[in-house]
Structure formats: structure tokens, C-alpha cells
Amino acid sequence: MKIQHIFFDLDNTLWDHRRNAYLTLKEIFKKEQISDRFNLDFEEFHTEYFTINERLWEQIRDGEIDKEYLREHRFYDTFLFFGIDDFDLSETFETQFLDEILNYNDLVEGAFEILEYLSEKKYKLHILSNGFKEVTFRKCELSGIKNYFQTITSADEINIRKPQPEVYDYSLKKAGAKIEESMMIGDDWIADVEGGKSFGLEVVFLDVFNDNYEAEGVKVIKKLVELKDFL
């Protein structure tokens, strides 16, 4: 059957999380005078934070930890790597990070263009994100893309994350969509591509970070506008 419903991942598929997080952390780092207090370079801090945060999000995706553990550890473990054992400081960073990241709302290149194109073609668009419920909707709202979507689903709503089939089932039922009429587009090979494909969806991998994964039946694009080639 012809595709009618398109489910987008949010972070790093439409909303440029890497850039927005970088700018947010740089501002907090400066505000808290970390360089002066601890003789710590921001770029070194950010590199280690990025590595730790990515690993923790993989553990959340795989059901090994919950979001409370991530919130307690991503900054604490980063500072600890540099010999700074200060839980209060890490809590300060966590609180400010969640509050202030919404001040930055850069989108992935081509996001507005492709959403406008797909809307004009009468596709029904949806968000299916593994991100925190309390910020997922606001990211869409503040970045100006909310009105393109018929449903916005965060895995927090049922506390089950992609690639687990239950979250796909929940999102499709919420959207009133059939599997054979639906497509999943995302930048996470395991959560979006393997998860969506196992559930029976047509899938598109947005390879924005040049991971160069490939699998039979999986379309791979480097930029969002390439969706125009087959939609």
C-alpha cells in the first residue's frame, strides 16, 4: 500500500540536538566559571560529556538504566573524569541544561523545506521520539515545527523506548495509522531503523554522521531533502 503516515525521530533528525546542546553547555560552563575554578577547557569537557551522554542514552534505549540515572550521572561522571567530585555542581548543570537548552532551537539542514514539501503532498506527519516527554513537545513548539505534525509521541508516555515494538505500536495506534501505510525516518540505526524495520515499517536512515550503515530494504539519505527522491 502507498505510504500515508511518516514518523520522524526528533533529536538529530529534525531538531539539531548536537548543536543546541553544545551551545547550551558552553553558556552554562561560562556562567559557572568552570575554566577559572577548575582550570578546565570547555572543548575537552564537552568531548568527554558527549561520549558519556551518548553511552548513557544507548543504555536507556537498551533498557539498562532509566532517565533518572542518566540525569544523575551524565554531568557527575563527566566532572569526575577530570577529578572533580562535586555532585551539587553536576546537579546545577543538569537543572540549567534542561531549562536552557530550549533557548536554542536550530533545526537540521532542510527540516523546514522537507516538512513543507511533505505537507503539501498530503502526507500525515508524526513525531516518535525517545526523548524526555517534558521537552519533546516544547522543542517542536519553540522551533516552529509543531503544526506540521498530527501527533507528537514521546516514549516516556509508556516508559518504553525504541527499538521496542510496544512504542511503535503505541505511536501508530495514537496516529490511527496502519503498519503497511507507515514509514519511520531517523538517525539512530538501532532505535529507528532496526526497531522500525522489525516492527514492519518502511524505514529511512538519515546518515547525518556518516556511520555508513546499510541493510537490505533500508533507504539511506545524507540530507533530509533527499526524501523528495522517493516521496
Tens-place pLDDT, residues 143-196: 999 999 999 999 999 999 999 999 999 999 999 999 999 999 999 999 999 999
Q: In what order do the strands lie in the sheet with 202-206?
A: 151-154, 124-129, 5-8, 182-186, 202-206, 218-221
Q: Are 196 and 184 in contact (CB under 8 A)?
A: yes
Looking at the predicted structure, is the pLDDT value of residue 112 above 70?
yes
Per residue in 14-73, pLDDT tens? 999 999 999 999 999 999 999 999 999 999 999 999 999 999 999 999 989 998 999 999
Q: How far apart are CA 104 and CA 137, in angstroms?
A: 14
pTM: 0.93
How many degrees, rounded to 5, is the angle at CA 170 between CA 196 and CA 128? 55
User: For residue 98, which amino acid is it?
Assistant: L
Q: What percent of the chain stands above pLDDT 70?
A: 100
110: alpha, beta or left, given left = phi > 0 and alpha = psi -120 to 50? Answer: left
